[in-house]
Amino acid sequence: MVGGRIGCALLLYPRACAPRLHQPAGPARANRRRRRRPCPCCGRGRRTSRGSMDPGKDRGVKSSDVSDRIQQLLHDVNTNPVVVRWASSVLGRCVESHPLLAIFALLLLILSAPPVLLFLGAVAFYLALSTVGFILLQVCVLSLGVSVLLLFLSGLGALALGLTLAFAPILLVASLLLSRDSAGERRPPARLTDGGHGYSPSRNYARRNSLS
């Protein structure tokens, strides 16, 4: 009876009963589960979209997808009107006829761009530094010249003040002498009379007439 039931179960439910019958016990089961786990580094044992455990098929699908994307990108670039217009120009025809020369020029441009940019940056930096330094030098020179000029002018002012104070008494004495001389020239002369104090021409004329 028991054997007949097991046989019927195997015939009716082979997928459900087979794992249970052939299920390993103990550490063998744990090892089997560990084998089924995919590797986090290389991805071995990982199931694909179709349920397969083969990584080669997955890589083939990925490579085909990448190639399709590259072909689509090339098609978009070739059908671009700007690219078509450039390809129809003289430079585009020259590049198309000499691809190695175009690759050489492109690589030379890419490789020479960093040192050229560094050189231009250094030149611009030194020019800016020299400009700023020249401006600062001019400002320092002008400020020094203005300070020296102010000191020189203040010294000249002090010298002029000292000379003025030295010549002030001389000018005062000279002005007093000149004022006295001018006052003596303006005073009228004294008239002579008979007593010797003054002289009167009308009286002298009358005396001469009386004597005659």
Single-letter amino acid, residue 172:
L
Residue 27 belongs to some domain of the structure? yes
Q: What is the model's pTM?
A: 0.37
What is the average pLDDT score of the chain?
Answer: 73
Residue 98 belongs to some domain of the structure? yes
Residue 15 belongs to some domain of the structure? yes
Residue 179 belongs to some domain of the structure? no
> Within this chain, do residues 29 and 50 fall inside the same structural domain, yes or no?
no
Q: Contact, 86 vs 92, CB < 8 A?
A: yes
> Within this chain, do residues 55 and 31 fall inside the same structural domain, yes or no?
no
> Within this chain, do residues 7 and 29 fall inside the same structural domain, yes or no?
yes
Residue 131 belongs to some domain of the structure? yes
Please count the structural domains in the chain: 4
> Within this chain, do residues 21 and 32 fall inside the same structural domain, yes or no?
yes
| Residue 39, pLDDT score | 57
Q: In the 3-class helix/strand/coil scheme, how is the chain assigned residue by residue?
A: CHHHHHHHHHHHCHHHHHHHHCCCCCHHHHHHHHHHCCCCCCCCCCCCCCCCCCHHHHHHHHHHHHHHHHHHHHHHHHCCHHHHHHHCCHHHHHHHHCHHHHHHHHHHHHHHHHHHHHHHHHHHHHHHHHHHHHHHHHHHHHHHHHHHHHHHHHHHHHHHHHHHHHHHHHHHHHHHHHHHHHHHHHCCCCCECCCCCECCHHHHHHHHHHHC
> Within this chain, do residues 129 and 157 fall inside the same structural domain, yes or no?
yes
> Within this chain, do residues 89 and 57 fall inside the same structural domain, yes or no?
no
> Within this chain, do residues 104 and 130 fall inside the same structural domain, yes or no?
no
> Within this chain, do residues 102 and 127 fall inside the same structural domain, yes or no?
no
Tens digit of pLDDT for each residue in 133-158?
Answer: 999 999 999 999 999 999 999 999 99
Q: Contact, 99 vs 92, CB < 8 A?
A: no
- Rounded to an integer, the average pLDDT of 172-184 is 79
Tens digit of pLDDT for each residue in 152-177?
Answer: 999 999 999 999 998 888 888 888 88
d(CA 184, CA 102): 115
Residue 186 belongs to some domain of the structure? no
Q: Does residue 17 have a pLDDT over 60?
A: no
CB-count exposure of residue 107 (10 Å: 0-12, 13-18, 19+): exposed
Residue 17 lies in domain: 1-37
Which residue has better confidence, 16 or 185?
A: 185
Torsion, Cα 97 101 103 106, to 10 degrees, reads -120
Q: Contact, 193 vs 199, CB < 8 A?
A: yes
**Domain final position from 149, 170, 191:** 170
> Within this chain, do residues 73 and 85 fall inside the same structural domain, yes or no?
no
| Residue 41, pLDDT score | 54
Question: How big is the CA angle at 174 (ends 173 and 179), to the nearest 5 degrees?
Answer: 100
Residue 181 belongs to some domain of the structure? no
| Residue 202, pLDDT score | 57
Q: Contact, 32 vs 24, CB < 8 A?
A: yes
Indicate the pLDDT class of residue 42, thresholds 50, 70 and 90. Answer: low
Residue 187 belongs to some domain of the structure? no
- Rounded to an integer, the average pLDDT of 1-7 is 44
| Residue 207, pLDDT score | 59
Which residue has better confidence, 131 or 189?
A: 131
